[in-house]
Structure formats: C-alpha cells, structure tokens
Amino acid sequence: MSRQMTGAKMVVQALKDQGVEVVFGYPGGAVLPIYDEIFQQNDIRHILVRHEQGAVHMAEGYARSTGKPGVVLVTSGPGATNAVTGLTDALMDSIPLVVLTGQVPTFMIGTDGFQEADTVGITRPCTKHNWLAKDTDKLAETLHQAFHVATHGRPGPVLIDIPKDVQFATGTYQGPKQAKVSHYQPKVKGDIEGITDLAAMIERAERPVLYTGGGVINSGPAASQLLRELADATGFPVTSTLMGLGAYPASGKNWIGMLGMHGLYEANLAMHGCDLLINLGARFDDRITGRIADFSPKSKKAHVDIDPSSINKVIHVDLPIVGDVGHVLEDLLKVWKARGRKTNKEALAKWWGQIEQWKLKNCLSYKGSDKTIKPQYALERLEALTKDRDRYVTTEVGQHQMWAAQFLGFEAPNRWMTSGGLGTMGYGLPASIGVQIAHPDSLVINVAGEASWLMNMQEMGTAVQFRAPVKQFILNNERLGMVRQWQQLLHGERYSHSWSESLPDFAKLAEAFGCKGAKVDSPKDLDDAIMAMLDYDGPYILDVLVEKHENCFPMIPSGKPHNEMLLGDASTEGAIQAGGAVLV
Amino acid sequence: MSALNIKKGSTSHSAYDLRDPHAQANETHTLAVLVDNEAGVLARVIGLFSGRGYNIDSLTVAEVDHAGHRSRITIVTRGTPSVIDQIKAQLGRLVPVHEVHDLTVEGASVERELALFKVAGTGEKRIEALRLAEIFRANVVDSTLESFVFEMTGTPSKIDAFADLMRPLGLIDVARTGVAALSRGV
C-alpha cells in the first residue's frame, strides 16, 4: 500500500487507517495544508474548539469514555503551548492521546520565526514520547508509531511536530501494517511465580483490601469484569482511587467507597487496618497515602502495575507484579481457582463486621437545610434523578469534584471523567463535550464549580456549534471552595483571594452562547430545575447557588495518617500542624 | 514470608524486594544505557534526571553502532538504593531506550576516563610535574617552555589523584571526558 502523496495527505490517510473518527482542533498558519486535506474528505469529523487547551481536554474525555486514543490537531507556537496543560493532564492520568502540531518550515527552525516555538523541547517532559517529523518519507511511519506508543503499555499522550514544508512535500505513504512499531512492546503478562504467591496470600489473608485505580479502567472493560469476579468470589472489600471509580460497581456488595484525602471513613480505616493490601492499577498517590511512614502499617502489600517505575516509587511493596491488570487478574483467578478457591472465611466475616461498624459512622452525613441548597444535597438529588439513565459524568477540580466522587455512584467503567493527577481546573466542560461527541445519545453532565468552569467557558461555543447537549451543573458558592477550606483550616481563616466578585449571570451567559440556562437557589425548586435541565434538548447551564461556606469532609489533613481523619462534626481547630501545612 | 522460601537479600530475580526500605545510605552506580541515536535522546535522559531531582556525577555519550543507529550513554549517579532502582525504571520506560544495565551490581566491570591537564611552571616544579606524569603513565601531548598538556587514561580515582598532585605544581586547566564502562568477560 505504498503510495506517493503529500505529507498533509499522509496525516489524514494515517488517521483514517488508524480508525480515527474525530479530531479536535484549531487551524493556524502552520497546519493549513492539513486543514486543506481535512476539507476535502468526509471520513474524519473535525470539531473546531475555541482554545487549544479545550481541544486536548475534549480528546481526553473522548479517550477516557471510549478507550480509544483522542486526536488533536493544532498549529505551531501558541497552538502548541496552549496544549501543554492538557498534555500534562493526560500524562498524569495515563490517557492515550495523539497530538499533531504544525511547525515552521524546517529551514526556518531556530530563527525565531513567526509562531515558532520549540514544541518538541517544551512538550518533552509532558508527553510519553514526541517526534519532530523532518522527512516526509518517514512521516507515515512516525504517525503509526505514535498511535502504537500512545496506546501500548501505560497509555499516555504523544505529540508529532510537523513542519509546514514536510506537509507540502511529497513522499511515500506506508500503511499501519508496514510501519515498524519500534521495539516498544511493554510486558502485559505478569510473572506466574508472583501471581501464585499472591493467590497464596489471598488464601491466608484475614483482613484484605482490594485497592483499585485508573489502571483497571485503562486495561479495558474485561479487567473491570475480572475485578468484579475476583471480589465476588473472594468476598474481599473493594475501595478505589478517584481515577478508578466505576471499575467495581457502586451498588456492588463489596464496595466500601473511595479512599484517600476525601475518601470514606470505612475505606481509609480498612486501608489502615488491613493485613493484605492488593493494589490493582493504582500508584500510591500522595492523596491516597497520607503520611507515608504510617501508611497501612500492618499489611503485606502486593502491587500490580504495567509500569515498572510505579513499583516501590512511593510505598515499598512486598510483592510487585509488573503486567497489565486485566492479564494479571485473569491468571490470578485461574491459579486461585485451581488451588481450590480458598479464603479464610472466618476471619473475613470478622473483618466485614469491623467494616460494618465503621460504616455506621455515616461519614458523608451533613447538616441539611431547607433554606439554602447544600452542595451535597444538590448531588444527592442529581444522583437520584439521573442514576438510571445512560449517564456520563465529568467534573472540574475542587470541592464539587470530591462531593461528586462521594455522592454519585458509578456502575460501569469509562463513565467518570475527572482530572485526578494534575487537578486541572477548566477540565470538565471541554471533557464533557469530548464525551458527548463520542456518545451523542447519552446524558453527559459536567459537575462544576463556578470558578473552574470559567477557566474554559469559551467551549460553550463549541458545544452549541456541534449540538453537543452537555449539561453544566454548576455548584456556585462564589468562592474557590477548596482553597477557602484550606485557608480556614490551615491559614487562620485569612481568605486571601479565594472569592470572586462580579461573577457572570450564568443563565444569561447560556443565552448569550445560544443555549439555555437557569438559576436555582432554593432546595424546594431543585428537583424541577434538574428535570428542566435534563429535558432540554441542547446544551444547558444550571447555576445552582449553594451554601457558601460548606467544607468537604471527611478529610485527612496533610501529613496525617488514615486513622486521623476529620469528620464533618469534629472540631477542626488545630487539626493540622506546621509540618502538615507545608504539604499541598 | 519465610514460608514462601524467599532468599534474603535477593532483588532482581525474585518477586520480592526484601531489602530494608529505610536504608538511606547513598551509593554510586554506573549505568550503561543503550538508546536509539535519534534527535533529542540525550535531552530526554538529562531531562529525566533534572526533572525528577536525580544526580549526575558524570555522563558520556557517543554512537557505538552506526548501522543500527545505537548510542551508548554511560551515567555515573548517586542515590539511595530505592532512588537508584527508580532511576533505572524511569530510564527503562523512555521509548528510545533499549537496555539499561547497572554495571555496579551486574558483576565486575571496567571503567575508564580520559583527561587532559594543562600544567604551567618553570624550574623544579616543571621537572617534578614531568616526573610524576611518567609515574602515572600520562603522555605529554603539547609542550611549550612554560607549560605541558598531559593526557591520561584511567579510573576516575586515578585521574583525581593525578589532579591533586598537579595542583601545587601549576595545574591551570583540566578537561575530563567522563566515565566509559563495560562489563568484564562475556
């Protein structure tokens, strides 16, 4: 299938051959030849964004909700630099993206040409790999390699910088099958010796916990299915990181809720008290571990991860297994079943008894109000009115994100899109559009805070233009809620620049963008307002005015171990000492 | 753990890492990294070290297989055992990296470095410099009436020792290549 064609045509041909259906992008001088090719075909849909950061977050939403790589096309210089936040976000959360940037012609590189930036240099630390394509004859192979690298091993964003003369020049096109996909072939099968040891540990464990993460979702739906099988067959409790929600269903009988800084009491105490901790595709992030020295002090720790550099990076583990979670779970179940499906049932029953005791704390309880809408109440109502629908949820970053994680239940993987590792405010709106483009008939809700939402609000234009009926559920407290909470707990209630004056009227803003919006400020009107949002056939902004000074609990203060978490009614005074204040 | 019959202290071939996680003494390791000789590969390696706060004591790089487009990067680095393990794992996941070898733990190896020393002086000092150079098997590669340039190949510690001796004798410039290293035997 070697054919002569221009570099620009190769880009479009390679995308088609890779099965790409949608590209999120923004044109500019250095990518005009590629846009000319896009104009002359109908197989690939192009979504015109309003800012390149939006394009990358849309591609992330698309990728996270489909399991396929998201594709972005932007111009040189500012086009590329605007993509940097999204690239870093995707790198932290292991989201497969292929980002194509235009570049000044090769003979101008290094001359500080118009809209020239050292894109490959700037994006080297925020991509899994990147390339400067200097030769049209090698461009096709590089494009196919890029898809291979983005989607194999631990997924991540890759970038190809394509100078304009390379786009114009003619070269030989190669199909994906002819392309040498380099030596990059990460190991997916785990060592059977280690897996057998893990099966033996499972048989003996008295107080086990399955601690699951985004890796289970990245591994594909089969991994989530196997996790359910393992949990149900062993009767082990399951907790998850923010990134892993939905891998095990929230309604499942072994589900003990999210763990970590704003995780559930029972989940964190189970982590603290367990004697066998099985980490499946999570990475012992600092939001999870709290104080390292006191993290899960009594447990043997097993860690399944496709990335060898995740092993022993933060927490020293007793049993590392390098491999894809899906493959490892499959082998683990086989071995464990062959050995007689044994667990320590008596001890497990006792362990569950303890967990049930912790659950009685009812750690998500909050003081209700019939005057103001409590953010937790808003999410409870949103959950009640949408949980039976074909629903996808994205979030921005902050208190609302944690409340969404606590109060919404996810029954399936790929339904929950949030910026976990990087914590990127402005992620949710564009991500929701990316999800909606991939799932045009589904309900897509972005749970937002007003401050985060404003960071990429220009993308409402994209939602309207492409008829993406995304629902923007803004919990508006006129504060940077999480910052305010930390200032209250850590900085002597000195609320330095953590509130916004002159916020826009979000309902009118919706109107200005050509869609619909409404404001609601009373608990009794909330259900009707949510229903109106759901019933509207198009993008919608619901401005939910919530209690301004609500804090997000439970909370493990920085520098504290899991068993010293703060609950809503507990006194928060002096809870965080100087040593903890230095941690973010 | 004893029931599982794991050898104490075994690391690379066991599923278990039984070393004391709190051992914090720094160690010096020499790593050999075989990479594709492509644009930016050195920047990737150096960026990894600076971005994650690892040390580089010395670094050498050159193409070693022209037909196969392979370069060999030799890095001397310092860190606790867990940091050294992280460095190796992080290097290993760079896409253009083919192999990472820790020559310090993978059996015996030889290390050599080339250095040039410019020593200026006259009279007794000049004669003493020349005499010491002979003892260290350094070659004179340039000479004027007031200066020598010595060339020496050896282990980094031999080069350090020679530099220490030359300093009072008028050492004014040193150029060192950094360490090149290979494992012994086959």
pLDDT tens sequence across B21-42? 556 799 999 999 999 999 999 9
SS (H, E, C) A38-73: HHCCCCCEEEECCCHHHHHHHHHHHHHHHCCCEEEE
A125 closest CB neighbour out of B4, B51, B95:
B51
B93 closest CB neighbour out of A194, A309, A316:
A309
A182 closest CB neighbour out of B43, B93, B95:
B95
B15 closest CB neighbour out of A128, A194, A309:
A194
* % of residues, chain A, pLDDT over 70: 97
The reply to whether B47 touches chain A by the CB within 8 Å rule is yes
- For chain A, give the mean pLDDT: 95
The reply to whether A199 touches chain B by the CB within 8 Å rule is no
For residue range A35-94, what is the model confidence (pLDDT) as tens digits?
999 999 999 999 999 999 999 999 999 999 999 999 999 999 999 999 999 999 999 999
Q: Tell me which chain B residues have a C-beta less than 8 angstroms from the C-beta of A193.
A: 15
The b-or-e profile of A163-175 (16+ CB within 10 A means b, else e) is bbbbbebebebbe
Residues of chain A with CATH 3.40.50.970: 3-173, 375-545
| Nearest in space to A142 (alpha carbons), one of A161, A120, A123 | A161
Tell me, what's the pLDDT at A581? 62
A-B Cβ pairs (cutoff 8 Å, strict): 58
CA distance A374 to chain B (A): 42
Indicate the SS3 state at residue A499.
strand
Provide the terminal-to-terminal Cα distance of chain B, rounded to the nearest Å: 36
The reply to whether A319 touches chain B by the CB within 8 Å rule is yes
Sequence letter at residue A31: V
Residues of chain B with CATH 3.30.70.1150: 109-183
Question: Is the pLDDT at A439 greater than 80, yes or no?
Answer: yes
The reply to whether B23 touches chain A by the CB within 8 Å rule is no
Tell me, what's the pLDDT at A434? 98
Indicate the SS3 state at residue A99.
strand
Residues of chain A with CATH 3.40.50.1220: 192-359
Contact status, residue A430 vs residue A482, Cβ threshold 8 Å: no
CATH superfamily of the domain spanning B22-102: ACT domain (3.30.70.260)
Topology (CATH level 3) of domain B109-183: Alpha-Beta Plaits (3.30.70)
Cα(A584)–Cα(A567) distance, integer angstroms: 20
**Scanning every residue of chain B, which has its alpha carbon at the shortest distance from the alpha carbon of A302?**
B16
A3-173 CATH, one of 3.40.50.1820, 1.10.357.10, 3.30.390.10, 3.40.50.970: 3.40.50.970
The reply to whether A182 touches chain B by the CB within 8 Å rule is yes
Q: Tell me which chain B residues have a C-beta less than 8 angstroms from the C-beta of A129.
A: 94-96
For residue range A336-358, what is the model confidence (pLDDT) as tens digits?
999 999 999 999 999 999 999 99
Provide the terminal-to-terminal Cα distance of chain A, rounded to the nearest Å: 54
Sequence letter at residue A216: V
Tell me, what's the pLDDT at A182? 67
Interface probe, candidates A144, A318, A332, A335, chain B, greatest B C-beta count within 10 A: A318
Q: Which residues contact B123 (CB under 8 A, 6 or more apart)?
A: none
Tell me, what's the pLDDT at B15? 38
Class of the CATH domain delimited by A192-359: alpha beta
Q: Is the entire prediction scored with pTM above 0.90?
A: yes
Question: Is the pLDDT at B1 greater than 70, yes or no?
Answer: no
For residue range A561-579, what is the model confidence (pLDDT) as tens digits?
888 889 875 445 455 555 6
Residues of chain B with CATH 3.30.70.260: 22-102
A375-545 CATH, one of 1.10.8.60, 3.40.50.2000, 3.40.50.970, 3.40.718.10: 3.40.50.970
The reply to whether B102 touches chain A by the CB within 8 Å rule is no
- Read off φ and ψ for residue A445, nearest 5 degrees: -120, 135
Among B residues 69-98, those touching chain A with beta carbons less than 8 Å apart: 82, 85-86, 89-90, 92-96, 98
Q: Tell me which chain A residues have a C-beta less than 8 angstroms from the C-beta of B89.
A: 308-309, 311, 313
Instruction: For this complex, say whether ipTM is above 0.95.
Output: no
* HSE-up (13 A, CA, CB side) for residue A434: 37
Q: How many helices (H) and strands (E) does chain A have?
A: 24, 20
